[in-house]
Structure 1
């Protein structure tokens, strides 16, 4: 995907696109809560369940 973006529009970096697009709303497979974008103490983003701390389901976001 990154190669495709670079070929179409080399002056736009994939990181910029990722920061401006909101992920599609997804449901937690463990408890059916909403997965939302969260940030770790180190500043990394991931998808985490809205029912935290009851549900601790997380998913990585592709870089």
Structure 2
């Protein structure tokens, strides 16, 4: 039995929906999820994370 099996189904669906939305945003920006992870991981200042989340926020507002 894994920990994932203990998570309620609604939470699993909500997570899947959120990930899909973020992936749609990345597709529009012509970037993959792996590239976003790499960019965030390689930036010790946190500016990349802030920039990506800011752009994602605007994506959510406008769509």
Which TM-score band applies after superposition, normalised by the shorter structure? under 0.3
Which structure has more strand as a fraction of its residues? Answer: 1
Which structure has more helix as a fraction of its residues? Answer: 2
> Taking CA–CA contacts closer than 8 Å with sequence separation of 6 or more, which of the two structures ends up with the larger relative contact order?
2
